[in-house]
Every structure is written in structure tokens, then in C-alpha cells.
Structure 1
Amino acid sequence: MNSSIINRDKNLATLIHLSTFTKFIFPLGNFLFPLILWIFRKDDEFVDHHGKNALNFQISIFLYSILLGLLGLAGIVFTILYLESYINIQHFHEFAISDLQEAISVIILLAIFATLLLALFILEIFTVISASLKANQGELYNYPLCINFISINKLIIN
């Protein structure tokens, strides 16, 4: 723990990370509340580092979720269209998946993308808690898989 960082800064940095959980109560709370808290003390290097990291990670997680959702949707639509053309080739005149063997690819795709979204959610929970603990101890934290939309200054704390 670094004694040069005052408790007020540690508490604010911790609160910035934990405020991302407000998305479960307020839409876009994971962007707005950390942004508001960060703006109050962004001139402090420690708070600035944690604020930028928290916002960058939330934007990254949002984009990863959208990307996974779109890829999953595209895969399912493609699979259904393929099945429809397969059924039409077999001279079936109506589109109905009555056999589990024909629907298994859609079910597998749904399971894969649901698992990936769940893993992304668990990663977010785990890393936000880890970042909060590090901030409370007066240490720096860099999120994994984070795209730096807001540039982060390299900060060295003794």
C-alpha cells in the first residue's frame, strides 16, 4: 500500500470501479456514474488512471457483447436459411423443423454464444471487483482485454 496516496483518492477510485455495477439498476449507469465520479478528480493522477481504465473497460465490454450478439444472430440466421434451402431441396413445401437432428446446429450455436456471453459477464464481475480491491489498496490496475479509447498515462507509484 502506498502512503503517498490519500484515502480520499483510494476511496474515490474504488467507488469509480464499483459504480459500474449501477448498470443493473440504471440503463447506461456503467458509463454515466464512473464518468461523473472521474470528472470530479481527474486532475489527480491516481484517480485519473482508475477512471480512464474503468470507462475504457466498460466501453470494451459493451462492444464485445454487441459483437458476440451480432455474430450469434448472423450464425443462427445463416443456419436457418441453410436448413430452409436443404429442406426445399428435399421437396418439402413448408419450413418446419420437426426433427432434432435438423435443429441441433441452431441449438449448438445458441449454446456456444450464450456460454461466451456468460463468460464475458463473469469476466466483467471478477475484474471490476479485482480493480476495486487494487484501488482500495492504493495500487494501479489494468483491465484485461481492454481497448484504450481514452488514452491512459503511464503512471509509476512507488
Structure 2
Amino acid sequence: MNHLYEKEERMWAMIAHLSALIGFMIPLGNVLGPLIIWLFKKETSPFVDRHGKEALNFGITITIYAAVSYLLLIVFIGALLLFALFVFWMVFLILGAVKANEGSEFRYPLTIRFVK
């Protein structure tokens, strides 16, 4: 469903998704980025609140999947899982940001929703 959201709301929702890229510079930044955006902006817009929670849940879920994959490095399959997880993360992170910028709702697949 496509709604007409204000440009600023769409921008902050998109930033909530893209802030996970901070994880390339800061350990656990893929969780901290969306968490910070969500905490600061959740009261200003229900749209940003929904996208922020979704991005946060995806970051937490990806971190858990990565930890399990690291443990599986012992039996080599972990390397394949880490590569597949990275591709999955990047593709859906970008897709989430694009959908937010369009003003559309978005739900990440295979995500555990810790924050409701």
C-alpha cells in the first residue's frame, strides 16, 4: 500500500534502514544505527516508527545469524553462510531503503521481530 507521507518522514525512514551500514565502521553498528534513529524519531511519525522497528529487528536478526555462521566456520559451511548472509543483508537493506523513500511499507523476510 502506497501512502503520501511527507518528504521528511520518508527520508528518516530511509535513513533508519541505511544507518545499518555503520556496521562497516563500528562493531554492532548495524543494530546501533537503526536503534538510534528509531529512538529519536519514533514519536514524530508512525511511518518512521514502523520502518525504524523493522530495520532494528533486521539488524538484530542478521547479527544472530552471523554469530551462528561464525560458529559454523569450524566445518567450512560457515564461510558459505556468511557470504550468503552478506548478500541477503545488502539486497534487502537497499530494498527497504528504497521502499521507505517511496512511502511504502516494507517487511524484511526471515526476520525475528523482537521489538514490536
The TM-score, its normalising length taken from structure 2, stands at 0.91
Task: Name the counterpart of 2:62.
Answer: 61
Relative distance call for 1:72 and 1:27 in structure 2 (3 A) is closer
After alignment, is 32-41 or 5-14 more displaced? 32-41
The whole-number CA distance in structure 2 between the counterparts of 1:143 and 1:33 is 17
Structure 1 gap segments, 5+ residues each: 74-108, 152-158
Pairing 1:1-150 to 2, within 5 Å after superposition? 1-3=2-4, 5-43=5-43, 44-73=45-74, 109-110=75-76, 112-150=77-115
CA contact (8 A) 2:69 2:79 kept: no
CA displacement, residues 1-48 of structure 1 (integer Å, 9 cap, x when unaligned): 522x11100000001100100110122222222111111220221101
Return the index of the structure with the highest Cα Rg.
Answer: 1
**Residues 61-81 of structure 1: CA deviation (Å, up to 9, x unaligned):** 1101111222343xxxxxxxx
Amino acid at match of 2:100: A
Q: CA deviation at 1:56?
A: 0.4
Deviation at residue 136 of structure 1 after TM alignment: 0.1
Calculate percent identity across the aligned residue pairs: 42
Paired AA for residue 32 in structure 2: L
Aligned residues: 114
Show structure 1 runs of 4+ deviating over 6 A: none
Residue identity in the other structure for 1:30: N
The Cα shift of 1:128 comes to 0.2
3-state SS, counterpart of residue 113 of structure 2 = coil
Give the Cα–Cα distance (whole angstroms) in 1 for the partners of residues 39 and 66 of structure 2. Answer: 26
Structure 1 counterpart of 2:68, which letter? Answer: L
Conserved? CA contact 2:71–2:78, under 8 Å: no
Match of 1:89 in 2: none
Ranges in structure 2 where 5+ consecutive residues have no aligned partner: none
Alignment root-mean-square deviation, CA: 1.2
TM-score, scaled relative to structure 1? 0.68
SS in 2 for 1:129: helix
